[in-house]
């Protein structure tokens, strides 16, 4: 049976020109970032289809096997040591389905932007940078990239010039800022168009970060 993601969606109030797919973190759901939209003050808000997918419900090893929404299993507290590679690839495939669905609905891939927080950022990065059609951009918040070595064998030239926005909290105790900065350094060395922002905060989102995300999106969707 084909797996499809359920979604929370905000339909465009005017002509549908753009799509933004935003992935939540571990244990949250599609509603998690729904409320951020009014705070972004996007110039093209009326023309954007906002899609907030719900991750599949599955057992998470580090949480004593408790079932919750997760893009992949977390096998150990050390995020990069032992990784649920099959789980990541399954979620990447599910995200690609959503992107292709928007393309089928007439939205050019260059008008589709991916965003993700924590686990969602992992999927947004891997899916976006390996996707075979050029995307509008990738926002990766408080995240890391455990499949970055595998990704480098799957690099898609299509998104080598795609603007990437990375941000992280300096006090993040869930995903250490060093993990995120390492991703930035690697992608920067590979000459991706990537920008880095850091804020005095925990594993969360802050006002200054929202303002910077707003500026980034407004440059892309105008």
Name the residues annotated as catalytic: 118, 172, 203
Instruction: Please state the three-class secondary structure of the chain as a single string.
Output: CCCCCCEEEECCCCCCCEEEEEECCCCCCHHHHHHHHHHHCCCCHHHEEEEEECCCEEEEHHHCCEEEECCCCECCCCCCCCECHHHHHHHHHHHHHHHHHHHHCCCCHHHEEEEEECHHHHHHHHHHHHCCCCCCEEEEECCCCCCHHHHCCCCCHHHCCCCEEEEEECCCCCCCHHHHHHHHHHHHHCCCCEEEEEECCCCCCCHHHHHHHHHHHHHHCC
Which residue's structure tokens are 């705070």? Answer: 39
Alpha-carbon span 194 to 210, nearest angstrom: 17
Alpha-carbon separation of residue 73 from 59, 127, 186 (angstroms): 7, 17, 24
> Could you tell me if 23 and 117 are in contact, meaning their C-beta atoms sit under 8 angstroms apart?
yes
Tell me the two tokens of residue 23.
Answer: 């992935």
């Amino acid at each position: 049976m084909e797996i499809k993601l359920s979604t929370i969606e905000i339909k465009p109030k005017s002509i549908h020109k753009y799509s933004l797919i935003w992935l939540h973190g571990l244990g949250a759901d599609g509603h998690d970032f729904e409320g951020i939209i009014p705070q972004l003050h996007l110039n093209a808000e009326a023309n954007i289809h906002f899609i907030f997918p719900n991750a599949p419900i599955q057992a998470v090893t580090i949480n004593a096997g408790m079932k919750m929404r997760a893009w992949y299993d977390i096998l150990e507290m050390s995020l990069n040591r032992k990784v649920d590679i099959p789980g990541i690839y399954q979620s990447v495939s599910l995200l690609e389905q959503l992107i292709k669905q928007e393309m089928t609905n007439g939205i050019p891939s260059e008008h589709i932007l991916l965003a993700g927080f924590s686990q969602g950022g992992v999927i947004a990065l891997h899916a976006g940078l390996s996707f075979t059609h050029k995307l509008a951009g990738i926002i990766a918040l408080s995240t890391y990239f455990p499949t970055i070595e595998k990704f480098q064998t799957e690099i898609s030239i299509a998104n080598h010039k795609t603007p990437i926005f990375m941000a992280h909290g300096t006090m993040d105790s869930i995903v250490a800022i060093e993990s995120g900065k390492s991703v930035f350094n690697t992608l920067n060395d590979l000459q991706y168009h990537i920008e880095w922002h850091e804020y005095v905060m925990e594993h969360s989102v802050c006002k200054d970060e929202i303002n910077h995300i707003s500026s980034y999106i407004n440059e892309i969707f105008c």
